[in-house]
Amino acid sequence: MKKYLIVSGCSWGDPNFISAEHPDMDTSWKMWPEILAEKLDMQLINLCKSGQGQEYIYSSLIDRLQTTPINQIGLMIAAWSTAVSYTHLTLPTKA
């Protein structure tokens, strides 16, 4: 069984990203966590969400760490947002 790559962050890694400036833009490209998981040959758990700040990033990783057996985790990445970024309401995600 492949080990897990667990990533949490903001819109830079959100697979459901929608551009606020260009909402009609096709944003179906692979985000960096998916590319990294392929390169490392790991199973991805992507917790990234647009508009999320440090508290969400930290909390989502801690929550996942508590529910995933430690021997199944290959790597956890906190993709910190900008220092002044706070969690706020987000745009609707793709269906």
Could you read off the pLDDT of 4-45 as tens digits, one per residue? 999 999 888 988 888 888 889 888 889 999 999 999 999 999
From the list 53, 78, 52, 51, the residue with the least C-alpha distance to 65 is: 78
Count of Cβ atoms closer than 10 Å to residue 9 Cβ = 25
Q: Residue 92: is its pLDDT beyond 90?
A: no
Point out the least confidently predicted range of 21-25, 68-72, 81-85: 81-85
